[in-house]
Each structure stands twice: as C-alpha cells, then as structure tokens.
Amino acid sequence: MFPLPQKESRAPATCLGSATTQDVVSSYQDGLGRESPGKPDQKLPGLYGVGDPVSKFSSDSSCLSSRGRVIKWFWDSAEEGYRTYHMDEYDEVKNPDGIINLGTSENKLCFDLLSRRLSQSDMLRVEPSLLQYPDWRGHPFLREEVAKFLSYYCKSPAPLKPENVVVLNGCASLFSALATVLCEAGEAFLIPTPYYGAITQHVYLYGNVRLAYVYLDSEVTGLDSCPFQLTVEKLELALQGATSEGAKVKGLILINPQNPLGNVYSPEELQGFLGFAERHKLHVIVDEVYMLSVFEESLGYHSVLGLERLPDPQRTHVMWATSKDFGMSGLRFGTLYTENQEVATAVASLCRYHGLSGLLQSQMAQLLRDRDWINQVYLPENHSRLKAAHTYVSEELQALGVPFLRGGAGFFLWVDLRKFLRQGTFEEELLLWRRLLESKVLLSFGKAFECKEPGWFRLIFSDKTHRLRLGMQRLRQVLESKSQETEDVPPPTTPRTPVSSADEVAFAWFFRGNALLSSSG
Amino acid sequence: MSSDRDQETSDRSQGPSPRQHDQPCGQESDAEAAGLSHSLSHRGVDISAFYNSYFQAYEAYQSSKFHLDLNNLGFFHLDVSENKLCSDLMAERLCQKDMDDVEDIQLQAPNPRGHPFLREAVAQFLTSYCSAPECLFSRNVVVLNGCSAVFSALSMVLCDPGDCFLVPTPFFSGFIFGTKMCTNVELIPIHLETEITDEDTLPFQLTVGKLEQALLEAKTQCKKVKGLLLPNPQNATGHVYSQESLKEFLEFAKRNDLHVVVDEVYMLSVFDDSVQFHSVLSLERLPDPQKTYVIWSISKDFGLGLGALYTPNEDVAFAVSPFSYLHSISGIVQYHLRCLLRDRDWIDRIYLPAVHSRLRTAHAYVITTLRELEVVHNFKIFFHSRSCGLYLWINLKNLLEPCTFEEELVLYRRFLDHKLILSRGQSYLLKEPGWFRLCFAENPDKLELAMLRFGQAIAEQKQYWIQKVVQYIPELEETDSSSSDDN
C-alpha cells in the first residue's frame, strides 16, 4: 500500500449522526464564537495559527466516503453565499430585485473590450491539429508567448525562458499541483492573513496540505507603517510558532498585489521575504494574478520576476493567469514560471488533469502577443474604469462614515464594519453578512480570509455603475439600520478589539516611496 | 531519430517494473531508489517518475511528430485515444457563425459544476442518445475537462485513501498513475482473458462469475472494494452488452453494495448500424440509482476536452463540484460544446454518418490487411472485433517463440523500429503475452502507410521467429539421447 501519513486518514472530529446541511451550518456558526483548535484567540501573542480546514465538520449519512463527506461539507460552507447568489442573480430587466454581487472578485468593467477582441478573425481560426491532444506542458508556441509577455510586463532583467513555463487551466489548479509536488500530505504553507480564502481549498482537496497563518493586525504599532503590514519578523515568529505546534512548513505563499488588501509589496520587502524563505529553505509561491490591475500608478508595482537577483531561484515559483488582469475568469488559463525544472516537470505531469484545449491555447497566444492592443487599448481603458469605480465607492463609504483601506490595486476594498457589530465576534460578523445577503447585496466576510479581527469585509467595486449604485444603496440601508440598533442596544460586555482612530484607518494606505496622507478620495 | 534514442524510448517503454505491476501502490517511494530531490516531496518525485515511465512513448511521439512522420497505430487508454478521422469536419463546424459569439457569460467565473447552459445541453443530449426512458436532469450533470478527471473526482468522494475499485482488463496501467498519485485509490484488475484456442474463442468476456471471483479474491486479501468500473461498450472487443447483461452487472454491484461507474465514452463509436448500443441510462429501472454513475466524454467523439458525469445521486454530484473547478473547462469551449451538442441536425446528418462510415472503412481495411498478412506469412492472428470503438486488439502469439512477455517486448521494439507505436498487452495488465492494440481511427493515407510498415515489421518478425524455432530443433534432438547427429 502506498505509505500514508497518519494525518491523512483522519476521521471527523465530531460525529453528530445524521445532521443535515443546515445543522452543519449552524454548528459552524456556533463554533465561531468560541475558541477552536488552531485559532489562538486566547493564546498569546496571537501572531500565528495552524489551519485545520475541517475542524468543525460533522458527519452525515450518505453514499460518500468519509473523505467525500468532509469535502462536501467544506464546499458547502465555503460556497454558501455564491450558491444563494446564483439562484437569485440580479438582472436589470429580468430580476431587478435579485442579489447584487459585490463579493466575487471579477472585473466586469471590460467585457465589451474583451468580447470584441476575442471575436476578431485571428481568434476564430481552427486548425484540425489544434483539436488533437496537445503537449501536456502546453503548446510550445504558447509557452514562448508567455515567456515574452512576462519578460516585458514583469520587467525581468533577462529574457525569461519558455522551458520554465507551464500552462494549465487556472491558478487554482496550480496551487493544487504545487501543493502536491512540493509537500507530503499534512504538511503546510505559511500564508499572511487576511488572504484569498479559496486557496485553503485549492491546496487541501488533492494535496491535503494545510495553511499556517501569519496573522496581521489592523492596528498600526511600532515599526509598522500601515495596517496589516507583513514583516520578516512576523514571518519568523509565525514559522517558529507553527513549527512548535508540530506543523511541517514547506513553503510560503505571497500574493502580490495583495488580495483582499489591495496593496503591493516594495522590492525591499520582497527581497526581505524571499531572504527569509531562503534562510529556512522554504519554497516561495508568488501569486501575481493582479499584476496588471494596479490602477493607482503611484503604488509602483514590482514583480518578483523583475528583481535583479532572486535569493533562491530554485525555490521561487511565480504564477499568473488571465482571469483577473484580462477579466476572463471564465476562460481558465493560468501559467507557472519557475527555474526549477524538477518542479516544472512534476507540475507538467499533472497537467493532463488540468489541461487546456488546443483552441484556447491558440487564442491565448494571440492575445498575449498583441502588445499594441494591450498597451494602447485595453490597459489604459481598464485602469481608467477601475479608478473611476474605486473613486465612486470610496466616496460612498466615506459618506457613510465607514473606514476602509485605500488600496489601489485589484478590484477590492477592505472595509472596516467593526463598529456595526453589536459585539466583536465572528458570529456577529456572519449575522451582518447574512443581513446584507437578505437585503440582496453580497459581500465577503473577513473570516473567509482568516482575518484575525471580526468585522472586516471585502467589497468588490469592479462592476458597472448602475449595479454599484444599487449595491451601495442596499449596503447603506443595512448599515444605517444597524447603527440605529447599536444605539438602541446596551454597550457590549465583551471588550472589542482596539480600533485605531477612524481617521487613521480610513485614510491610511499603502504608498511606497513618497507617502502622502490625503483626506479625500 | 538516432538509434540511441530509439533504444532509450523502447527501454523506457518496457513499462513499469515488476514491483509496480504486483503492487499498484509501491511499498517504497521512488525517491529512495532514485536519490532524494531537494525540491520535490516524495510524492512529487513519484509523480514525475511514474509519469515518465508510463508516458515515454507518448512524449517521444509528441517531440517527433512534426518532422518524422511517425505513424501511430496505438494510443494510451482513455483520454489519449484520439479519433482523427473527422477533425476536418469538426474544425469546419467550429468555424461556423454561431461559434463566433463571445458573450460575457463565457468570460465570467462559471458555476463550478459547469455552465448551466452546457449541463442542460448534456442532459438533453444524453436523454436522446442513451434513449433514456425519462428526461435526464441537468442538476445531475457535472462537467469536467475529461473523463480521467471525472473518475479522479469520483474516486476522491466515493473512496477513502487505500480503498479499491475493480476494473476489467485490458485497462491501461498508466491509469493507475492518476488514481494512485492523486486520489490514493487502488485499481484491482479483473482478468477477463481466456486462453485463445480457436477462432471462435471470445476473449475478454465479462461475466458475473468473473466479477464474483475477483471480489472474493480481493476480500481474501483484505482489500476494501468500494466500486466497479464498467466500460460499456466493452473496451477491448467493442462488444456491446445487452440490457440483460447490464442489469446483471448492476445487480451484482447492488448485492455487494458497490458503486458502479459506467464508462460510456465510446457510446457514439458504434459504426455497425445493425448493432444496437444500450446505455445503462436506457434501463427502465436502475437496481441502485444512488450508486450508479455514468461517464461520457466528448474527447473521443469530438476532439474537445469534456468529461461529463451523470448520476441520480445529487449528494455525489454536489461533492464532485469543487473538483469541477480544478478540472474546469474554459467558458468559450463550454459555449462551443453547447452549440455542438444542440446541433442535432449536424450530428445526425453529417458528423456521425461520416464518422461511422470512415471507421467502417478503416476497420475493414485493417482486417483485410491482417488477413492478407496471415496468408503471406502463413501464421494465424487472433482477433475478435465487433463493430465499435477505435481500435482492434490482436493476438500475435504465433509469432512469439517462446510466448513470453520478453518476446512481446522484442516485437514491440521492432514495431518502434519501424516507426509504429502499438500498445502491448503487458501495459494493459493482460496475463497472456502476445496482445497488441491498434488504433485504426486514422486518415486513410496515413493508415495505408502504417499498415505497410506493420507488414514489414511482421515479415521481419516472421524471419526472426523461424530462426528461433530452428535454433531449438537441434537442442530438442540432443535431449533425445538415441538419435544420431549428422551436423
């Protein structure tokens, strides 16, 4: 038998017999208010945690294996909001009372440009050979285009090589494949929080890899110059802590630009983090999927591939996809760049399960090659629309008196709704989230990003004005009625997490270089 | 291709080591054998090693196909089998106007199970082509990017690590790769072949008796068998099961509380009009609907990556959804697929008739050539081919002296020397040496060239066989102590 590490055959922690999905959800809710394994709410110093994605799982009877039931539960709790949304999607004509989705990170602002480009004749040529089974790493013509594309946009010091490129059907598959080939079952990746929560599933489903969190605070203290700042010191402490709890940490995941914070790391910070990883012989997986969505030029984005020298090139793996930067998450195209041929080959071995049709490969190559259209048509227009939408939503939030991180990259705002919770608990956070959903506006709650502090929400602004307007209106209604309730209700007995002054949080941002403090949107 | 490279290719095509044959899940990791990798985990090393050993020949083909005119009469199992016969028709259809529309929905993050418009199209398509007694529901359909992905996802949710599935041979041992590496499920072969005695022997016949026996043997080895993978039509001979046979297999599964995954990927490749295909979905009543799963794939029929799962078990359909995201199909391709599946007119009047006609012609041509070779070289080739599928299993035991897997490998390499890749029985876990698989779904001119090379290889092999036989004769005479020796 294939040797199985003990952890893999874990049985569910509790077994409540034939609980329904609803029961599972309510047990999840119950679990939020109290401490659970891996959440060091009452452990000092609260800088790290080791994730156990299924710690609250309870079994139900079905044809599924134990593993299958866990997967189903996981999926059920993770996707509840989106399922509700898909059953009642807003449509201005067919369903004007439907749910406005400000939760899914998608750029809906440029479908017109993209459809037009993808409908052009060079995209529609289908040769029979494209229909036949491709090279599993991806057609050479595509990998060459990817190498040239990344060399240009990442400003790499030397041209990147096609043989270091692997293409497959999206970054989710890349996380899954990398988790499988870099880690044994049960091992872990370090990841700063808050982070894009779906990664938990991507590394867990096939890879059975868990995440060790580097908790970041909104409070600005000491050497931090902004909220949720990642430092090498925090990484060191988290690694130490996770290791002491028995986690075997194999790598570090960095998301740059950061999701959900909307910030970017400076080259110095990147060198620091990569240096940390090198010292501890950790792999670094850098997710740069929002690389071209930095609409605030003054942020000054730097890709890892643009650094003069990588501390440990054999352990540095960079991923990018068209889903965000080209607003086509439905098209499913992702790339990995790594100088480590062993890793590239191992990932490519799994590509037959995450393959791309020949047709799509041809289209992607055409798209990436069209530098003129990208630089002169798409990017300027995309950035301008993103900026306008960002400005609109920022102004609305300010008018509401809601603090938020300014961001400047990506499609999201990280919004502080802590003052609208009766108590500073995740249970209250979920209640607010449900209240918003019932009022037909979907946001993402902070717990889904493993944010340490209850009350943070991610709001997506990359949508058409009329939908944003309606969404913000509904948000306003809920928050105003919540404010009313908060006034009516006696002050909470549980001490809330200390909040910096509203001004500091609302208008603090991540500016590198010439930092300016602005008081308007 | 240099002879060194040929040698390399054929050495590695030898297939997995005996250890890997006997124990589909090896006791020791290849990392220990090969030396530790500094980058990869043990399973990462195993993944690379397994992939390399199983797919070497395919990789060789990939790297040489553009400039060496390497002809292929054989492919690997499941996803890698191709029907090249109608790529022209498909390409033409894909260029038509309705395929041009790029709507927002295709670009947007899809419903994880696949776009509803595609699942609906699949449900309707299957209702029609499987002759389902009632309409099939789209909520019971999940789409992934290939049938390997479907089986992989099912293995994850139906089995715990170490559980087993029974699979009738021949099946490609490389299939073990995915199930072991990614899902940790063991595949136990059900050996179907019977000894070839004469022309009428029906090899690879699946019976309930063989199923019972395989299950019993597995249980005595303390294996936890969770399900059965049932190819329909039968994947070696193209034999089409009757509804009664299907019911018997499903009843067996129900009696033993097993999941049944029915692989109907070759459903549309029945090219003999007098033969009626029966899908399990055509049965009036499934013995155990909550444990019945049908896989259908478009890759064989249409050359585009789609694997569809249909199951009445909504729990399982739901649990498979997260895998649908990892094995997702591009929105644009989903849209093309929807257009194709809905175009009944094109499928029924243009595409399928052309596919069937070309398959019939190719099949007949190969059969004729084989018969001619039998006459020319005076030896018997055993095969039993029904009118379905893309390939033909032939038994060349009469050209192997002695009839062993070593000699089978020699012949395999001889085919490679003649620039032909056939699949050989040992890679498909067959117990009897001498089986080879030819994929005849190739364009006529290429097929002709390939059969010419095949004939040349056979001629050479015949000479080699004669020498081998002659070699033995003096040895035999020597063991006869009394005979005098004139040599």
Helices (H), A162-266: 171-182, 198-204, 232-244
| Residue A498 is assigned to a structural domain of this protein | no
Of chain A residues 78-137, which have a CB less than 8 A from chain B? 79, 86, 104, 106, 108, 111, 114-115, 118-119, 124-133, 135
* Whether residue A403 sits in one domain with residue A292: no
Instruction: In whole angstroms, give the CA distance from residue A291 to residue A302.
Output: 8
Inter-CA distances, A388 with A295, A379, A463, B225, Å: 10, 14, 11, 59
Q: What is the least distance, in Å, from the CA of B200 to any CA of chain A?
A: 36
Q: How confident is the model at residue A495 (pLDDT cuts 50, 70, 90)?
A: very low
* Whether residue A398 sits in one domain with residue A334: no
The answer to whether the CB of B226 falls within 8 A of the CB of B256 is: no
| Residue A506 is assigned to a structural domain of this protein | no
Of chain A residues 378-407, which have a CB less than 8 A from chain B? none
* Structure tokens, A462: 């990359």
Inter-CA distances, B485 with B159, B355, B474, B482, Å: 66, 61, 9, 9
| Residue A38 is assigned to a structural domain of this protein | no
Asked which of A138-147, B183-192, B468-477 is least confident by mean pLDDT, the reply is: B468-477
* Whether residue A275 sits in one domain with residue A176: yes
Distance of CA B96 to the CA centre of its chain: 32
Average pLDDT over residues A343-363: 85
The secondary structure of residue B179, as a DSSP letter, is I
The answer to whether the CB of B318 falls within 8 A of the CB of A72 is: yes
Q: What is the least distance, in Å, from the CA of A248 to any CA of chain B?
A: 12
Decide if pLDDT at B25 tops 80.
no
Inter-CA distances, B27 with A2, A184, B20, B31, Å: 6, 16, 9, 12
Inter-CA distances, B38 with A212, A250, A341, B17, B119, Å: 22, 12, 12, 25, 44
Q: Which helix (H) or strand (E) holds B142?
A: strand B141-144
* Whether residue A243 sits in one domain with residue A347: yes
| Residue A101 is assigned to a structural domain of this protein | yes
Q: Kindly report whether the peptide bond that precedes residue B402 is cis, defined as omega within 30 degrees of 0.
A: yes
pLDDT at res. A265: 96
The answer to whether the CB of A180 falls within 8 A of the CB of B44 is: yes
Instruction: In whole angstroms, give the CA distance from residue B447 to residue B118.
Output: 35
By CA distance, what is A109's nearest residue in B?
A: B104
Which of A81 and A54 is assigned the larger pLDDT? A81
pLDDT at res. A55: 64
Instruction: In whole angstroms, give the CA distance from residue B127 to residue B146.
Output: 20
Instruction: In whole angstroms, give the CA distance from residue B5 to residue B11.
Output: 10
Instruction: In whole angstroms, give the CA distance from residue A295 to residue A391.
Output: 11
Domains in chain A: how many in total?
2
* Whether residue A411 sits in one domain with residue A298: no
Of A68, A111, A176, the CB nearest to B157: A68
* Whether residue A380 sits in one domain with residue A366: no
Angle between helical axes of A66-78 and A80-87 (0-180°, round to 10): 60
pLDDT at res. A33: 30
| Residues paired with residue B307 on neighbouring β-strands, in sequence order | B144, B297
* Whether residue A366 sits in one domain with residue A380: no
pLDDT at res. B83: 59
* pTM (whole model) above 0.90: no
Q: Which residues of B touch A340 (CB under 8 A)?
A: 39
pLDDT at res. A499: 38
pLDDT at res. A287: 97
> Of A370, A393, A418, which residue sits at a domain end?
A370
The secondary structure of residue B241, as a DSSP letter, is P
Average pLDDT over residues A200-210: 93
Q: How confident is the model at residue A252 (pLDDT cuts 50, 70, 90)?
A: very high
Half-sphere exposure of B431 (CA within 13 A, CB side): 13
Which of A6 and B263 is assigned the larger pLDDT? B263
Put simply, whether A277 touches B (Cβ < 8 Å) is: no
Q: How confident is the model at residue B196 (pLDDT cuts 50, 70, 90)?
A: low
Decide if pLDDT at A515 tops 60.
no
User: Which of B27, B39, B139, B254 has the most A C-beta neighbours within 10 Å, making it the best mutation to test the interface with A?
Assistant: B39
* Whether residue A323 sits in one domain with residue A398: no
The answer to whether the CB of A292 falls within 8 A of the CB of A79 is: no
Residues B357-392 have pLDDT tens digits of 988 898 899 999 999 999 998 888 888 767 777 778
Of B83, B60, B75, B95, the C-alpha closest to B443 is B83
pLDDT at res. B344: 93
Q: How confident is the model at residue B331 (pLDDT cuts 50, 70, 90)?
A: confident
The secondary structure of residue A312, as a DSSP letter, is -
Token pair 């090899």 is found at B203
Put simply, whether A232 touches B (Cβ < 8 Å) is: no
pLDDT at res. B73: 44
Instruction: In whole angstroms, give the CA distance from residue B140 to residue B314.
Output: 6
* Whether residue A266 sits in one domain with residue A144: yes
Decide if pLDDT at A30 tops 70.
no
**Which residue type, as a one-letter code, is found at position A294?**
V
Give the domain range for residue A469: 66-110+376-484
Percent of chain B clearing pLDDT 70 (strictly above): 78
Put simply, whether A500 touches B (Cβ < 8 Å) is: no
Length reported for chain B: 487
Token pair 């940490």 is found at A249
pLDDT at res. A349: 86
| Sheet architecture: strand order including A188-193 | A48-50, A210-215, A188-193, A249-255, A283-287, A316-321, A334-338, A165-168
pLDDT at res. B81: 47
* Whether residue A166 sits in one domain with residue A87: no
Give me the DSSP letters along A303-352: -GGGSS--S-GGGEEEEEEHHHHTS-TTT--EEEEES-HHHHHHHHHTGG
Q: Kindly report whether the peptide bond that precedes residue A313 is cis, defined as omega within 30 degrees of 0.
A: no
pLDDT at res. A151: 97
| Residue A277 is assigned to a structural domain of this protein | yes
Beta strands in A454-496 (DSSP E): 456-460
* Whether residue A474 sits in one domain with residue A364: no
Of chain B residues 236-275, which have a CB less than 8 A from chain A? 259
Q: How confident is the model at residue A518 (pLDDT cuts 50, 70, 90)?
A: very low
Residues B385-420 have pLDDT tens digits of 677 777 788 899 999 989 999 999 999 988 888 878
**Domains assigned to chain B:** 2-26+38-86+350-475 (3.90.1150.10), 109-342 (3.40.640.10)
Residues near A26 by beta carbon (within 8 Å), at least 6 away in sequence: none
Average pLDDT over residues A362-388: 94
Q: How confident is the model at residue A43 (pLDDT cuts 50, 70, 90)?
A: very low
Under an 8 A CB cutoff, do B328 and A170 touch? yes
User: Which of B47, B142, B330 has the most A C-beta neighbours within 10 Å, making it the best mutation to test the interface with A?
Assistant: B330
Residues near B421 by beta carbon (within 8 Å), at least 6 away in sequence: B57, B60, B61, B70, B72, B73, B74, B75, B415
Q: What is the least distance, in Å, from the CA of B418 to any CA of chain A?
A: 23
Q: Which residues of A touch B160 (CB under 8 A)?
A: 9, 65-67
Under an 8 A CB cutoff, do B303 and A345 touch? no
Under an 8 A CB cutoff, do B315 and A182 touch? no
The answer to whether the CB of B153 falls within 8 A of the CB of B324 is: yes
Of A111, A181, A342, the CB nearest to B107: A111
The answer to whether the CB of B25 falls within 8 A of the CB of B186 is: yes
| Residues paired with residue A445 on neighbouring β-strands, in sequence order | A457
Decide if pLDDT at B7 tops 50.
no
Decide if pLDDT at A272 tops 50.
yes
The answer to whether the CB of A304 falls within 8 A of the CB of A277 is: no
User: Which of B157, B334, B340, B446 has the most A C-beta neighbours within 10 Å, making it the best mutation to test the interface with A?
Assistant: B157
Under an 8 A CB cutoff, do B146 and A353 touch? yes
Of A69, A314, A360, the CB nearest to B332: A360
Under an 8 A CB cutoff, do A330 and B47 touch? no
Q: What is the least distance, in Å, from the CA of B198 to any CA of chain A?
A: 38
Q: What is the least distance, in Å, from the CA of B118 to any CA of chain A?
A: 14
**At A414, which CATH number?**
3.90.1150.10
| Residue A283 is assigned to a structural domain of this protein | yes
Decide if pLDDT at B478 tops 70.
no
User: Which of B20, B23, B29, B40 has the most A C-beta neighbours within 10 Å, making it the best mutation to test the interface with A?
Assistant: B40
The answer to whether the CB of A228 falls within 8 A of the CB of A194 is: yes
Q: Which residues of B touch A125 (CB under 8 A)?
A: 95
By CA distance, what is A121's nearest residue in B?
A: B100
Q: Kindly report whether the peptide bond that precedes residue A257 is cis, defined as omega within 30 degrees of 0.
A: yes
Helices (H), B116-256: 116-129, 147-158, 175-178, 208-220, 243-255
> Of A452, A469, A484, which residue sits at a domain end?
A484
| Residue A342 is assigned to a structural domain of this protein | yes
Half-sphere exposure of B11 (CA within 13 A, CB side): 6
Q: How confident is the model at residue B442 (pLDDT cuts 50, 70, 90)?
A: confident
* Whether residue A230 sits in one domain with residue A135: yes
* Structure tokens, B6: 């040929």
Neighbours of A6 (CB within 10 A): 8
Distance from first CA to last CA of chain B, Å, rounded? 43
Of A3, A9, A352, the CB nearest to B148: A352
By CA distance, what is A202's nearest residue in B?
A: B326
Flag whether the ipTM exceeds 0.90.
no
The phi and psi torsions of B394 (rounded to 5 degrees) equal: -120, 150
The phi and psi torsions of A147 (rounded to 5 degrees) equal: -60, -45
Neighbours of B426 (CB within 10 A): 22
Under an 8 A CB cutoff, do B108 and A330 touch? yes
Decide if pLDDT at A5 tops 50.
no
- If phi > 0 it is left, if psi is from -120 to 50 it is alpha, else beta; for residue A514 that is beta
Q: Which residues of A touch B113 (CB under 8 A)?
A: none
A:B CB pairs within 8 Å: 249
Length reported for chain A: 521
Token pair 């540095």 is found at A316
Under an 8 A CB cutoff, do B331 and A328 touch? yes
Average pLDDT over residues B68-77: 37
| Residue A239 is assigned to a structural domain of this protein | yes
- Average pLDDT value for chain B: 79
**At A191, which CATH number?**
3.40.640.10
Under an 8 A CB cutoff, do A353 and B82 touch? no
Residues A393-418 have pLDDT tens digits of 999 999 999 999 999 999 999 999 99
> Of A370, A390, A405, which residue sits at a domain end?
A370
Instruction: In whole angstroms, give the CA distance from residue B373 to residue B456.
Output: 10
Q: What is the least distance, in Å, from the CA of B265 to any CA of chain A?
A: 16
pLDDT at res. A486: 67
Q: What is the 3-state secondary structure (H, E, C) of A122-152?
A: HHHCCCHHHHCCCCCCCCHHHHHHHHHHHHH
Decide if pLDDT at A134 tops 60.
no
pLDDT at res. A34: 29
Q: Kindly report whether the peptide bond that precedes residue B112 is cis, defined as omega within 30 degrees of 0.
A: no
Decide if pLDDT at B482 tops 60.
no
